[in-house]
Chain A
Amino acid sequence: MNRIINYLIDTVGGVLFYFGQTKLRTALTLMGITVGVSSIIAIMTVLETFEQSTDAVVSDMKTNIFYITKDNPIQITFGNDAGWGKQKIPRITWDEYEQLKRNLTLTTNMAATTAEEPSDRTISVGKEELKSRLASFWGSDGDILSVSKYDILDGRNIQDVDIENASRVAIVGYYIKEQLFPYSNPVGQNIEIDNIPFEIIALTEPKGELLGQNMDSMIGIPISTYIKYYGGKGWRGRPDLQLILEAESMDTLQDATDEAIGVFRAIRKIPPGEPNNFYIATNDQLMDTFGSFTSSIKIFVGLVAGISLIVAGIGIANIMLVSLTERIKEIGIRKALGARRVDIFLQFLIEAVLISIIGGVVGIILGLSFGNVVATFLEQDPVIPYEWVLYSLQICASMGIVFGLYPAIKASKLNPIDSMRYD
């Protein structure tokens, strides 16, 4: 044991000294490992911040919600998995929504929305203008507040009569009050959206931030009003609707989605055997898809990093062999002075492990910094993926052992007489 501690001290000192002597070569060798490890750590840090915030989303989302949309709500699929060309997918119309509303029995709440997130519209009260960009501007009908978990602090919800008349009434988030009505109750006052005046009918309770988005920087108006005044802008013609539906509970969610699919197919007169020409997804499915997306990224990163680490490992083996030929004389002297095979073997192995661990630690530091810079940029809280830091160190140590093995065995077998004469 004492002997092993001796080599450790001896070797660590020796390796550090040796690095100092061959800075460039060592730096290049380390770079391979550093790049591999830092890319793993950076990606894992970013993914971890995402997972953290999606956890927050999950806890904020109702699990008994599902959506019917024209486009795949999950934009992160690889390739086009739809069985039909994009042009043929019809928009979801108000008429379809009304029919659906009449026929569904297992759905308790239902809303049709069209939304801009974020929105570049100018929001003003008199001469006062909202300085920051509006996070979300939507048109919808009455159930929207319930399905998206907004509570009214003061005022009233959008009612059918508002939809029918396309009234210029608006629900505002708490941030709008703080910015534009700091000292008064906004309900009953006027607000202008792109210079069109609206009467504020409700103020919602503060919700805070989610995924870096200020949930209170929000204005909602009746969907008919939205289509009448803003629908033409950005979209050609009428915008398509997103339907948000709420089942009574998790237990009835499956039945409710089945019913909605059946009814919607009937409304669109899709013959049996044909695929749906719309998307239906539950919050759970959205989360699952996100999960499988992150895990496929992880596998991909793992593969790439694995390849780069193997290349780096070959670099280590190479450098150890070079260092071996440079130090044949040293090995001969050490053996003459009483070093056994295992002593030389361990000296070389420890050196290889040390090189790869130093490379790994540098990689971890770089990866954490880079990942957290990205996370900060995406307005996420900084994290350290401890698990992956630990894995990386283990991978580096085992790489040092695997790729240091051959040079170490070779060194340990040198004959002291010939080695001492080597120049």
Chain B
Amino acid sequence: MAKSKKEIISIQSVSKIYNLGETVVKALDNVSLSIYDNDYISIMGPSGSGKSTLMNIIGCLDVPSKGKYKFKNELISEMDDNQLANIRNEKIGFVFQTFNLLPKLNAMQNVEVPLIYSSLGRKERLKRAEEALYIVGLQDRMNHKPNELSGGQRQRVAIARALVNKPSIILADEPTGNLDSKSGNEILKFFSKLHKDGNTIIMVTHEESVAKLSKRRIDIFDGKIARDE
């Protein structure tokens, strides 16, 4: 791996422990991991392995119970809700399996949502949302609601939304899980292109074929990293 690259994410001995009354579940057990600029990583593992927990922690949706998580030298593991929200807003672009678009808003308005929380003015928001939709090739679908778009198009709107704030990493959770293979392949091609353009991509998946496209593969098993290459 190209170790000379700039480190973006540094996870040091991170554990996530859930206290479910009698039983204590270690969803993540002493995991350490570094992610570098322009990485294209796939995280694999069976359900219950802890990959979702890792993904939530990387995405700043959750904080670790133990250990340190640094994002571009900012100590995420010590942050409160509002600081986490700001990091998610500015540094992370999410792409979800179920797209998670807001059904009442059209494509343009969906892409605008993160910008609303970045205190951008209306003009600037419209300009950047338009640019992002242009990048994913949906410039002629801006006024369509999610239910007027195909699955592949919806996921492209979601990618545009992830890109619109120029994030440091793109975090994709089973991005092709709800798509037919043709649209799935298109999305994956698009991720490869984004990677080539210099973006850092972290993708959670359970499909070998999808993982093969990435440049680095991390397997999670029982809350531990089983393989990283």
Contacts and interface: CB of A to CB of B under 8 A. Distances in A.
B170 to A, nearest CB: 13
Given A337-B89, A338-B85, A340-B81, A2 B113 contact: no
A334 B81 CA distance: 14
B86 interface: yes
Question: Max chain B CB contacts within 10 Å: which of A330, A333, A337?
Answer: A337
Contacts of A333: 100-102, 113
A337 B94 contact: yes
B52 to A, nearest CB: 9
Interface string B84-117: 0110111000101000111010000000011011
B56 A417 contact: yes
Nearest to A413: B81
Given A3-B116, A17-B104, A417-B62, 10 more contacts: A6-B119, A334-B102, A336-B59, A336-B94, A338-B85, A339-B85, A340-B82, A341-B81, A342-B82, A420-B96
Given A330-B102, A420-B100, A337 B81 contact: no
Contacts of B104: 14, 17-18, 21
Interface in A8-48: 9-10, 14, 17-18, 21
Interface string B40-66: 000000000000000010010110000
A2 B124 CA distance: 12
B161 interface: yes
A220 interface: no
Given A14-B104, A417-B61, A417-B62, A337 B119 contact: no
Contact of A338 (B62, B88, B121): B88
A335 B119 contact: no
B145 to A, nearest CB: 11
B118 interface: yes
A192 interface: no
Contacts of A329: 100
Contacts of A14: 104
B75 interface: no
A338 B86 contact: yes
Nearest to B165: A338
A335 B84 CA distance: 10
B64 to A, nearest CB: 14
A343 interface: yes
Interface residues of B, number: 29
21 contacts: A2-B119, A6-B116, A6-B122, A7-B116, A10-B116, A330-B102, A333-B101, A334-B102, A336-B88, A336-B100, A337-B161, A338-B86, A338-B89, A338-B90, A338-B114, A338-B165, A339-B85, A340-B82, A340-B117, A341-B85, A416-B61
Interface of A: 2-3, 6-7, 9-10, 14, 17-18, 21, 329-330, 333-343, 416-417, 420
Contacts of B122: 6, 9
A333 B117 CA distance: 12
A340 B117 CA distance: 8
B113 A337 contact: yes
A417 B125 CA distance: 26
A340 B120 CA distance: 15
Contacts of A6: 116, 119-120, 122, 125
Contacts of A343: 85, 117
A334 B116 CA distance: 10
A323 B61 CA distance: 24
A17 B106 CA distance: 12
A336 B96 CA distance: 11
Question: Max chain A CB contacts within 10 Å: which of B82, B88, B96, B121?
Answer: B88
A144 B61 CA distance: 89
Given A330-B102, A417-B61, A338 B118 contact: yes
Top 7 A-B pairs, shortest CB-CB distance: A338-B89, A338-B117, A3-B119, A340-B85, A2-B119, A340-B82, A337-B114
Contacts of B125: 6
